[in-house]
Amino acid sequence: VALCEAEEAPPARSVPRVVESRFNWKLFWQFLRPHVLVLGVAIMVRLPPLLHPGDGVNQGLQKPSRSCTEAVFPPPRIAEGTSQKQPGLAGDLGLEEWQEDLPRVASLQGTRVHRSRKPGLFPGRHWCVCMSRHSVDVSRQCGRAQGSGEGEQGLLPGGGGEEDGPSRFPPPLQLALGAALVNVQIPLLLGQLVEIVAKYTRDHMGSFMAESRNLSAHLLVLYGIQGLLTFGYLALLSHIGERMAVDMRRALFSSLLRYCWGQGVSRAGAAAAAAAVAGACPEVTTPSSPHLLSPPATARQDIAFFDAKKTGQLVSRLTTDVQEFKSSFKLVISQGLRSCTQLAGCLVSLSLLSPRLTLLLMVATPTMMGVGTLMGSGLRRLSRQCQEQVAKAMGVADEALGNVRTVRAFAMEQREEEECRCKAEELGRGIALFQGLSNVAFNCMVLGTLFIGGSLVAGQQLTGGDLMSFLVASQTVQRSMANLSVLFGQVVRGLSAGTRVFEYMTLSPCIPLSGGCRVPREHLHGSVTFQNVSFSYPCRPGFEVLRDFTLTLPPGKIVALVGQSGGGKTTVASLLERFYDPTAGVVTLDGRDLRTLDPSWLRGQVVGFISQEPVLFGTTIMENIRFGKLGASDEEVYAAAREANAHEFITRFPEGYNTIVGERGTTLSGGQKQRLAIARALIKQPTVLILDEATSALDAESERVVQEALDRASAGRTVLVIAHRLSTVRAAHRIIVMADGRVWEAGTHEELLKKGGLYAELIRRQALDAPKGPRNP
Ligand code: ADP
Ligand code: MG
């Protein structure tokens, strides 16, 4: 008892949480900040070498971060400047492999090698081979090689190597501002040019060429600068935007799942993993690292969360929404900043040219803006509905594609598609109306300017050149405002996409992943009780699956749970794994409430679960078994495989334990898959073993081999056997018949037969069915 004192944490309840549906600016800044900072540092560090290109060699290496160690390879044989990213280097180098790989790395002669450990979203080790100013990240992941004991070892490829050295560019903000200011200058110069033209139209004296040459040259230079600045800030913005998007995708992904060699992968999680990894880190899917194709991950959110969400919806957040947010961000910065600066600059020029005309503009503009904002808020709402509909339709489509054999056109996706189309069309009409109206307004403004400006020229209060400048500047104002109006729609879409992306990042699971007390193995007996447990699934609160359910699993004994399908047997297993917490009553392990125990310890070391449908990952047999225990040695894997009757068939494969099993284990037979799942459960030497219809999907021959393995695995453990076929549970120490969400009757096979109750009835019915089903006794 002393092992677990004072850990009576207030039991967490699995209640649905109110989700924050507003854009999370704080989180957004967290993603943006590192890139902005990197770029800030870039100006300080990189601008001098840009100005004096000669001393730029190895600039990034001269000030290595404190955590870097540096080694310099033999003198350069690769010509300076030809060094590019080396694709061949992007392999996985573990710490141990580092030494062996020196020759390979050294073949890049003239490179300096950085080893750095850098904390990040996915802690892992990074080795950077820095070549001149190009840095190559050769590290990627090495969690497997190190066999770290911590569950959090990051397996997602680490942050890109380029981030290690600051970028060589000044921030896009400055470039965008520069471009905008140049744009403000241009109308004024154009006005002056028109003045000269006008002068020569009147007087026909002197040399027009001589007088206009300087001005024209000035204008040409400005046009050139403007083009360059535009290119610069757009390129940079895409640099920041892409990085931010990758970070966001990774963070969102890790808020759904957690990378580690652990246990308890949800279906939605596994699918999302593949999508996210493909999207966020395309390099992972290269054939050179097949073992990363389906990285092991554990659900980070509550299982209840995944019950309620469709994979398609989650994948859509990871892909479409992040994409949408990123493009909006880029557009807002590039167009928005430029338009705003131009607007402000031109308004200043305008007021200098003609205060009266400017006043007119100033009255017209806020009025238009007001109307625009009103329309915009309507559009925002529509856009949100539209995106929700798209996600919903994607969810249906994803599910249909995933189960295409079963689905066979339920016309469900058609309905969702239809609604989706209606909403999108409505949104399109709204945006069209908005833009049509803005066009009319802007054209009226031009006409008004010409009309009033013309009368001012006629009254000699304004020169023709000034009116030209004014017109060009007001055209710029018009363009900027048109841009802003288009941008507004994008901002609306971007914000709602961002809201959806950030929403899950702030969610924390009701059942924590870890934390609470652990019981040392030598003190663990494995006695489990369910005391007056009632339970309904969080996504179906009104429907009680278990009602006042009481059950004891004595240590080292086999208890069988039988009953009709849908009676709640799997639910009992889920409660024992603490995928959910009971609505009432308690589940205890050795007398301790499960809610006070460390869930990761419970699932990772105490409870082994073997279900009807084994879930395998598209990696090697070795890794699939090792998935049950973080950092297990090869010997442990072999031992578990032997115990599970799997060693023999594995060693008969040409590649043995290194055989890749295909996506979800498609290249194996049902019985083989199940034996791998058993080996995976046994490798952690669980105290409590749950067998949920473990043999019911198998043919008679496979069942025999698997059953043999199960019988061997059951010895000395507390076992809960859930079975549909009663022949498999005769030997159990105790049989519990479930009905109506509670224990209907209990006893040994003989006792229950003698009693003549529900169990006897079930046996009789199965015996009647026997001639029809060859698998029945
Ligand atoms: P059994 O294993 O005895 O066939 P289950 O425990 O799987 O039955 O299911 C018991 C009841 O709980 C069923 O009515 C089923 O519809 C419902 N149920 C099972 N899983 C979930 C879930 N994730 N969310 C909501 N209801 C569920
Ligand atoms: Mg079941």
Please tell me the residue having the least CA distance from ligand 1 atom 5: 568
Please tell me the residue having the least CA distance from ligand 1 atom 21: 537
Please tell me the residue having the least CA distance from ligand 1 atom 19: 571
Ligand 2 is an ion; residues with CB less than 5 A from it: 570
Bridge partners for 135 per DSSP: 130
- Is 440 exposed, middle or buried, given 0-12, 13-18 or 19+ CB atoms closer than 10 A? exposed
Give the CA distances from residue 278 to residues 161, 271, 301, 514, 583, in Å, rounded to whole numbers and listed in that order: 19, 11, 21, 28, 39
* Ligand 1 atom closest to the CA of 307, numbered from 1: 23
Ligand 1 probe mutation, 530, 545, 612, 762, most atoms within 8 A of CB: 545
Please tell me the residue having the least CA distance from ligand 1 atom 14: 566
Q: Could you write out the DSSP letters of every residue in 517-538?
A: B---GGG----EEEEEEEE--T
ipTM above 0.95?
Answer: yes
Threshold 0.90, pTM exceeds: no
Ligand 1 probe mutation, 307, 569, 570, 692, most atoms within 8 A of CB: 570
- C-alpha of residue 25 to centroid of ligand 1, in Å: 40
Which one-letter amino acid corresponds to residue 604?
G
Question: Residue range 177-194: average pLDDT?
Answer: 80
- C-alpha of residue 562 to centroid of ligand 1, in Å: 14
How far is 411 from 448, CA to CA, in rounded Å?
56
Quick one: pLDDT at residue 248? 81
* Ligand 1 atom closest to the CA of 303, numbered from 1: 23
Query: What are the residues whose beta carbons fall under 8 Å from the beta carbon of 250, sequence distance 6 or more?
Result: 121, 122, 156, 276, 280
How many CB atoms sit inside 10 A of residue 416's CB?
19
Dihedral angle of Cα 380, 381, 383, 388, to the nearest 10 degrees: 140
How far is 439 from 482, CA to CA, in rounded Å?
8
- C-alpha of residue 568 to centroid of ligand 1, in Å: 6
Complete edge-to-edge strand list for the sheet that includes strand 584-589: 546-553, 528-535, 584-589, 592-593
Phi, psi of 517 (to 5 degrees): -95, 160
- C-alpha of residue 684 to centroid of ligand 1, in Å: 27
Question: Residue range 601-629: average pLDDT?
Answer: 85
Quick one: pLDDT at residue 161? 33
Bridge partners for 69 per DSSP: 115
Alpha helices by DSSP H, 354-463? 355-402, 404-407, 412-458
State yes or no: pLDDT of 776 exceeds 80.
Answer: no
DSSP one-letter code for 19: P
Phi, psi of 101 (to 5 degrees): -85, 0
Please tell me the residue having the least CA distance from ligand 1 atom 13: 566
Phi, psi of 170 (to 5 degrees): -75, 160
State yes or no: pLDDT of 496 exceeds 80.
Answer: yes
Instruction: With H, G, I as helix, E, B as strand and everything else as coil, classify residue 579.
Output: coil
- C-alpha of residue 60 to centroid of ligand 1, in Å: 58
Maximum average pLDDT range among 28-32, 308-312, 448-452, 575-579: 575-579
How far is 193 from 190, CA to CA, in rounded Å?
5
Quick one: pLDDT at residue 164? 34
H/E run at residue 713: helix 700-714
The three-point CA angle 70-74-80 to 5° equals: 90
* Ligand 1 atom closest to the CA of 564, numbered from 1: 3
Please tell me the residue having the least CA distance from ligand 1 atom 27: 537
State yes or no: pLDDT of 538 exceeds 80.
Answer: yes
How far is 641 from 680, CA to CA, in rounded Å?
8
Question: Residue range 605-609: average pLDDT?
Answer: 88
Ligand 1 probe mutation, 534, 549, 565, 571, most atoms within 8 A of CB: 571
Residue 29 binned pLDDT confidence (cut-offs 50, 70, 90): confident
**Residues framing ligand 1 (Cβ under 6 A):** 307, 537, 539-540, 545, 565-571
Among 298, 359, 688, CA closest to 527: 688
**Six-digit token string for 251:** 């963070």
On average, the pLDDT of the chain sits at 70
* Ligand 1 atom closest to the CA of 573, numbered from 1: 6
State yes or no: pLDDT of 269 exceeds 50.
Answer: no
* Ligand 1 atom closest to the CA of 574, numbered from 1: 6
Q: Which ligand is nearest to the CA of 580?
A: 1
> Which tops the pLDDT comparison, 2 or 177?
177
- C-alpha of residue 396 to centroid of ligand 1, in Å: 21
Place of tokens 């363009």: 479
Residue 43 binned pLDDT confidence (cut-offs 50, 70, 90): low
Among 588, 615, 596, 581, CA closest to 509: 581
355-412 pLDDT, tens per residue?
A: 888 887 777 766 776 787 788 778 878 888 888 888 877 777 776 666 655 555 455 5
Among 9, 556, 92, CA closest to 281: 92
* Ligand 1 atom closest to the CA of 568, numbered from 1: 6
Please tell me the residue having the least CA distance from ligand 1 atom 6: 568
Which one-letter amino acid corresponds to residue 565?
S
Please tell me the residue having the least CA distance from ligand 1 atom 20: 571
- Is 588 exposed, middle or buried, given 0-12, 13-18 or 19+ CB atoms closer than 10 A? middle
Residue 533 binned pLDDT confidence (cut-offs 50, 70, 90): very high
Residue 149 binned pLDDT confidence (cut-offs 50, 70, 90): very low
Considering just the CA atoms, what is the radius of gyration of the chain in Å?
A: 34
Query: What are the residues whose beta carbons fall under 8 Å from the beta carbon of 752, sequence distance 6 or more?
Result: 735, 737, 745, 746, 759, 760
How far is 626 from 145, CA to CA, in rounded Å?
13
How far is 718 from 690, CA to CA, in rounded Å?
9
Among 266, 259, 324, CA closest to 295: 259
Quick one: pLDDT at residue 253? 75
* Ligand 1 atom closest to the CA of 572, numbered from 1: 6
- C-alpha of residue 567 to centroid of ligand 1, in Å: 7
Bridge partners for 742 per DSSP: 739
Query: What are the residues whose beta carbons fall under 8 Å from the beta carbon of 409, sequence distance 6 or more?
Result: none
| Residue pair 100/130 in contact by the 8 Å Cβ criterion | no
Question: Residue range 164-168: average pLDDT?
Answer: 36
Query: What are the residues whose beta carbons fall under 8 Å from the beta carbon of 312, sequence distance 6 or more?
Result: 391, 394, 395, 396, 397, 398, 399
- Is 536 exposed, middle or buried, given 0-12, 13-18 or 19+ CB atoms closer than 10 A? buried
202-244 pLDDT, tens per residue?
A: 777 777 788 888 889 988 998 998 888 888 878 877 888 888 8
H/E run at residue 689: strand 688-692
Query: What are the residues whose beta carbons fall under 8 Å from the beta carbon of 596, sequence distance 6 or more?
Result: 4, 7, 8, 9, 516, 517
How far is 715 from 272, CA to CA, in rounded Å?
37
- C-alpha of residue 563 to centroid of ligand 1, in Å: 13
Give the CA distances from residue 63 to residues 41, 58, 113, 465, in Å, rounded to whole numbers and listed in that order: 13, 9, 13, 55
- C-alpha of residue 609 to centroid of ligand 2, in Å: 13
* Ligand 1 atom closest to the CA of 571, numbered from 1: 6
State yes or no: pLDDT of 515 exceeds 70.
Answer: yes
Instruction: With H, G, I as helix, E, B as strand and everything else as coil, classify residue 698.
Output: coil
- C-alpha of residue 692 to centroid of ligand 2, in Å: 7
Among 141, 136, 152, 130, CA closest to 95: 141
State yes or no: pLDDT of 572 exceeds 50.
Answer: yes
99-131 pLDDT, tens per residue?
A: 333 333 333 333 333 333 333 333 333 333 322
| Residue pair 166/45 in contact by the 8 Å Cβ criterion | yes
Maximum average pLDDT range among 142-156, 253-267, 535-549, 607-621: 535-549
- C-alpha of residue 310 to centroid of ligand 1, in Å: 17
Please tell me the residue having the least CA distance from ligand 1 atom 24: 537
> What is the number of residues in the chain?
777
Question: Residue range 604-624: average pLDDT?
Answer: 85
How far is 608 from 610, CA to CA, in rounded Å?
7
- C-alpha of residue 453 to centroid of ligand 1, in Å: 77
Question: Residue range 55-84: average pLDDT?
Answer: 32
Quick one: pLDDT at residue 444? 81
Please tell me the residue having the least CA distance from ligand 1 atom 16: 566
**283-292, 342-351, 398-407, 732-741: which range is least confident on average?**
283-292
- C-alpha of residue 528 to centroid of ligand 2, in Å: 19
How far is 390 from 316, CA to CA, in rounded Å?
9
Q: Which ligand is nearest to the CA of 694?
A: 2
Quick one: pLDDT at residue 239? 80
Quick one: pLDDT at residue 755? 87
Quick one: pLDDT at residue 299? 59
Quick one: pLDDT at residue 171? 61
